[in-house]
Amino acid sequence: MLRFRRRSPEGRPIDLNVIPLIDVVFFLLIFYVISTAFVQETAVSLNRPQSSAASQVSGGFVPVAIVKSGAIQVGPQIVDLAGVRDAVRLALDAGNTLKAVVIPDREVPTGLLLAVMDACSAAGATSVDVAATPGL
Question: 50-103, pLDDT tens digit by residue?
Answer: 666 666 777 788 889 998 888 899 988 889 999 999 999 999 998 888 899 998
Whether residues 28 and 57 fall in one domain: no
Residues 3, 131: Cα–Cα separation, whole Å: 54
Residues 10, 32: Cα–Cα separation, whole Å: 42
Residue 40 within any structural domain of the chain? no
Residue 87 within any structural domain of the chain? yes
Whether residues 72 and 105 fall in one domain: yes
Whether residues 20 and 58 fall in one domain: no
Whether residues 20 and 54 fall in one domain: no
Residues 48, 129: Cα–Cα separation, whole Å: 13
Structural domain containing residue 7: 3-35
> Contact 53/136 with Cβ under 8 angstroms?
no
Whether residues 106 and 81 fall in one domain: yes
Residues 68, 108: Cα–Cα separation, whole Å: 5
Residues 103, 127: Cα–Cα separation, whole Å: 14
Whether residues 29 and 64 fall in one domain: no
Mean pLDDT of 106-125: 90
Our count of domains for the chain comes to: 2
Whether residues 79 and 12 fall in one domain: no
Whether residues 28 and 81 fall in one domain: no
Q: Which residues pair with 79 in a beta bridge?
A: 72
**What is this structure's pTM?**
0.60
Query: With the CA atoms of 129, 111, 80 and 67 taken in that order, what torsion angle do they form, in degrees rounded to the nearest 10?
Result: -70
